[in-house]
């Protein structure tokens, strides 16, 4: 009679998504094109079936995403009749900001964090869905599902509203906004399991294939376009690789893998035991760095 744990998670997420649509005047769903975004979008489509999404979907494009991600994004938008908004930080673009020339921290700050704030301010969104999960990282374990941001988009971890039952206080004052995380209670395994059960389309980069890569600082970086500067002694290898998370291609390390189906990904994930954020260059600072980034407005 009672629901399985995935059915419970699914129902909880749909409840959260509907609550935002009912109580916010101008919500938006942030769409990063990754697997968590894929699940979040899938849940949102279910929440409002047979209708379409009652809010737009926003992609903050750093201009350094994998080509396949952008293709996939455009396909999804067309297929589901999404109101897709794409925002690029034009100032950063003019100055030619990129990870190779400006370093990963500056690039992420300008093309991602600042770009996101620009987009939220421009459209005056008062609620933004994000696909973050609490199991990803220690500071996220304490963040509420409805997480408030000041008018400067800052998060104050010491001043969070208590969140009881499934009654969410969605009210905000003028110029404040709320980030909403419908996948808070999902784990990485839940996400893959759900993608598997529901046949949710994902970017093919998650599955292993022969791809051109170079090895840098112990990470396998894919040569996705000609913008990647190659040292004389660097050689492009063709390896069976896949990605556990997707972002800007120069900042996303690949893993060598033979997993070409979702089932094999899950199998590999359960047997090899490194956490998924390890592939993200941005996280590999001290323990508190993510919390600091979040306070500054990083999603």
Partner 1 sequence: MSHQSDLIEKDISAYLKSHAEKGFIRFITCGSVDDGKSTLIGRLLYDSKMIFEDQLSALEKDSKKVGTQGQNIDFALLVDGLAAEREQGITIDVAYRYFSTDKRKFIVADTPGHEQYTRNMATGASTADLAILMIDARKGILTQTKRHSFIISLLGIKHVVLAINKMDLIEFDQNIFEEIDKNYRNFANKLGFHNIVSIPVSALGGDNIIEKSEKTDWYNGPMLMEHLETVQIEEQNVSAPFRLPVQWVNRPNLDFRGFSGTVSAGNIAVGDEIVALPNAKTSTVKGILGTSGEKNHATFGEAITICLEDEIDISRGDVIAKINERPETTDQFQAHVIWMHEEHLLPGRPYLIKTNNQTTEGVVTELKHKINVNSLEHESGKTLELNEVGLINISLNQSIAYDPYTENKSMGSFIIIDKFTNSTVACGMIKFGLRRASNVHWQAVDVDKKSRSEQKHQKAKILWFTGLSGSGKSTIANLVEKKLHATGRHTYLLDGDNVRHGLNKDLGFTDVDRVENIRRIGEVSKLMVDAGLIVLTAFISPFRAERQMVRQMMDKDEFIEIFVDTPLEICEERDIKGLYKKARSGNLKNFTGIDSPYEIPKTAEIHVNTLDNTAEEAAEYIVQKLVS
Q: Which residues bind partner 1 (CB under 8 A)?
A: 1-8, 10-11, 14-15, 18-19, 21-22, 46-52, 134-135, 138-139, 141-142, 157-158, 160-167, 169, 171-173, 184-185, 187, 189, 193, 196-197, 263-264, 266-267, 270-271, 273-275, 278, 287-288, 291-292
93-131 in b/e form (b: 16+ CB < 10 A) is beeebbbeebebeebbbbbbbbbbbbbbeeeebbbbbbb
The CA angle 199-4-33, to the nearest 5 degrees, is 35
> Quick one: 21 or 85, whose CB is closer to partner 1?
21
DSSP state of 250: G
Relative to beta strand 255-256, strand 146-149 is unpaired
> Quick one: 94 or 174, whose CB is closer to partner 1?
174
Residue pair 183/39 in contact (Cβ under 8 Å)? The answer is yes
Least distance to partner 1, CB of residue 162, Å: 5
Relative to beta strand 209-216, strand 219-222 is antiparallel
> Quick one: 103 or 157, whose CB is closer to partner 1?
157
State the maximum Cα–Cα separation within the chain, in Å, rounded to a whole number: 64
Least distance to partner 1, CB of residue 146, Å: 10
Least distance to partner 1, CB of residue 248, Å: 21
> Quick one: 64 or 155, whose CB is closer to partner 1?
155
Least distance to partner 1, CB of residue 140, Å: 8
> Quick one: 236 or 270, whose CB is closer to partner 1?
270
Relative to beta strand 84-87, strand 127-129 is unpaired
Least distance to partner 1, CB of residue 160, Å: 7
């Amino acid at each position: 009679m009672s629901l399985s744990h995935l059915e419970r998670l699914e129902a909880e997420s749909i409840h959260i998504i509907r609550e935002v649509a009912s109580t916010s005047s101008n919500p938006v769903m942030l769409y990063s094109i990754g697997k968590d975004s894929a699940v979040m979008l899938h849940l949102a489509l279910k929440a409002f079936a047979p209708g379409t999404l009652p809010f737009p979907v926003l992609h903050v494009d750093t201009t350094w995403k994998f080509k396949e991600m952008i293709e996939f994004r455009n396909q999804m938008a067309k297929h589901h009749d999404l109101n897709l908004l794409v925002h690029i930080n034009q100032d950063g673009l003019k100055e030619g900001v990129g990870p190779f020339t400006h370093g990963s921290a500056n690039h992420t700050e300008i093309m991602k964090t600042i770009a996101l704030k620009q987009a939220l301010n421009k459209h005056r969104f008062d609620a933004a869905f994000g696909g973050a999960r609490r199991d990803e990282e220690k500071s996220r374990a304490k963040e509420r599902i409805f997480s408030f941001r000041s008018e400067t988009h800052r998060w104050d971890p010491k001043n969070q509203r208590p969140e009881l039952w499934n009654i969410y206080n969605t009210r905000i004052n003028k110029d404040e906004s709320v980030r909403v995380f419908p996948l808070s209670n999902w784990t990485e395994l839940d996400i893959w399991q759900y993608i598997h059960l529901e046949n949710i389309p994902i970017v093919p980069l998650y599955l292993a294939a022969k791809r051109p890569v170079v090895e840098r600082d112990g990470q396998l970086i894919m040569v996705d376009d000609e913008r990647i500067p190659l040292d004389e002694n660097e050689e492009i290898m063709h390896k069976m690789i896949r990605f556990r998370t997707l972002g800007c291609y120069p900042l996303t390390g690949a893993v060598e893998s033979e997993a070409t189906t979702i089932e094999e990904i899950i199998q590999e994930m359960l047997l090899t035991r490194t956490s998924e954020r390890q592939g993200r260059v941005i996280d590999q600072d001290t323990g508190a760095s993510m919390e600091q980034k979040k306070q500054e407005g990083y999603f």
